[in-house]
Each structure stands twice: as structure tokens, then as C-alpha cells.
Amino acid sequence: MLLEDGTGKGYKAAVDSHNHLETHAIAELAIADASEKHGDAYAWTASANIGATDSILWLRNDSTTQNLIIDTISVSSDAAGSWFVYCPENVTPDGTTVAGVNLNRSSSKVALATCKRDNTTAVLANYIFYGHNAAAETVVVQLRGALVLGYSDCVAIDITTEPALAQATILGYYHPAI
């Protein structure tokens, strides 16, 4: 027996003699889907010698129609120390501009975001994660899309000790705002 898809496109699926339809599921992370299908997944990365009160990365969603979904944040430094991820109010950022790198290497889309490294203007508030790392250790925070940045919402990473070299990466993707 053949089942038709009901859309008039002519797609059909076969069932066995017991009327069982065999299907196969593909599970894909949302960030992978956004990258593959829409070219809308990005990485923002910084490596710098920063002051103890500076944000190694500060990121703001500039899209008025899409949420920026934060999937993963990683932090490391050459010295053991503490750091935190927080969501500051929107400010005029200083520091060096960091361009988002499109994770779909076939896409020419540009991230609708402002990102700065070594930012000093953010006011520390709305802490969402505290971390600690050993010297030269990279700590990965799997948010799995739980942090959603609407228009003008921000996220930042601040290292409380003053390393000679700090590094951080934010992976995120865009999804239409509801």
C-alpha cells in the first residue's frame, strides 16, 4: 500500500503487509540546523591581554526581527583565575571590534550583532554563570540555546584575575523572534 503526502506534490511512502510505515529520524542540534539551512550561525572569538575588570568579549544582538540564541561559551587564560558570564544593559561599547565568523563556510551572511573585545564600558549585572579555570585550561559552558538575546540584549564575559592572555568564544545562531 502507498500513502500519499497530502500536499499534491506526488510524494509517496510504502507500508509493509502489516500497514507499518518505516521511518528514520535525524536528530540535529539547532545551531547546526541554523548553520546548514540558513547560514545563520556564528562564532565570536577574542584573544587578548586584558585588565582585571575588562570584558574579554561583549556581544549585542542588533537584529530587530531575530533573536540571537547563545549555544556555547568557552573561556581560558594563561593564569588560574575566576570569570563570569553576565548580561549587562546595552551601552555604547568601547574596545576592539570582533566580527562574527559565519559557521557555514558557503554562506556570505554577516552577523547582525556588535561585538567588542577588551570592553570597559559594561556595568556588571545580571550574572548567569561563574567559572574558574586552571592555567591554560579551557572551560566550556553549554547553554544549549537557553540564553536568548532579543534586540539590543547583551552578553559578556569578564575575567576577574588579570592574565597576560585571556581567550573566549561565543557560539550563537539566529532564530525568528516570536
| CATH value at residue 126 | 2.60.120
Residue 166 belongs to some domain of the structure? yes
Residue 172 belongs to some domain of the structure? yes
Question: Which of residues 173 and 125 earns the better pLDDT score?
Answer: 173
Residue 19 belongs to some domain of the structure? no
Q: Give the span between the Cα atoms of 152 and 23, in whole angstroms.
A: 42
Residue 10 belongs to some domain of the structure? no
> Which domain range does residue 57 map to?
29-176
What one-letter code names the amino acid at 61? N
Q: Give the span between the Cα atoms of 110 and 70, in whole angstroms.
A: 16
Domain count, the chain: 1
Q: What is the pLDDT of residue 159?
A: 87
pLDDT for 1 beyond 80: no
The pTM of the full predicted model, rounded to 2 decimals, is 0.85
Mean per-residue pLDDT, 20-47: 90
CB contact at 8 A, 111 and 171: no
The pLDDT tens digits of the residues spanning 96-113 come to: 999 999 999 999 999 999
15-45 CB burial, b ≥16 within 10 A, e <16? eeeeeeeeeeeeeeeebeebbeebbbbbbbb
Residue 23 belongs to some domain of the structure? no
Residue 143 belongs to some domain of the structure? yes
pLDDT for 118 beyond 70: yes
Question: Which of residues 50 and 113 earns the better pLDDT score?
Answer: 113
Q: What is the pLDDT of residue 88?
A: 94
Q: Give the span between the Cα atoms of 11 and 131, in whole angstroms.
A: 51
Q: What is the pLDDT of residue 157?
A: 95
- Give the count of beta carbons closer than 10 Å to the beta carbon of residue 7: 7
Residue 22 belongs to some domain of the structure? no
Residue 164 belongs to some domain of the structure? yes
Nearby residues of 111 by Cβ (< 8 Å), 6 or more positions away: 42, 44, 99, 100, 102
Q: What is the pLDDT of residue 28?
A: 87
